[in-house]
């Protein structure tokens, strides 16, 4: 987990996707390019139900954070 947090400072996707899902995703798509949901779906295919739950929970946290930033910025 410690190593993952090192990458999270550079790539926010490291907070959403964990372990091998993040590695697969980064091999398919450079993180600053527009997202293709098909790529994310393929990356998640090999995950267990527990791993998927963690990915979804982190994505929801990022959505909440993004909304808070927009509100704080007056948008």
Give the residue with greater pLDDT, 55 vs 25.
Answer: 55
pLDDT at 68 over 50: yes
Domain ranges of the chain: 2-72
Question: Does the pLDDT value for residue 18 go beyond 80?
Answer: no
Q: What is the pTM of this model?
A: 0.51
Sign, CA dihedral 52-43-22-39, equals negative
Looking at residue 3, its pLDDT comes to 53
Mean pLDDT to the nearest integer, 1-10: 54
Length of the chain: 75
């Amino acid at each position: 987990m410690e190593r993952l947090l090192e990458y999270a400072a550079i790539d926010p996707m490291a907070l959403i996707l964990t372990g091998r899902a993040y590695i697969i995703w980064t091999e398919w798509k450079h993180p600053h390019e527009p997202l293709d949901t098909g790529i994310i779906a393929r990356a998640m295919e090999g995950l267990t139900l527990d791993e998927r739950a963690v990915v979804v929970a982190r994505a929801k946290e990022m959505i909440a954070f993004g909304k808070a930033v927009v509100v704080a910025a007056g948008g």
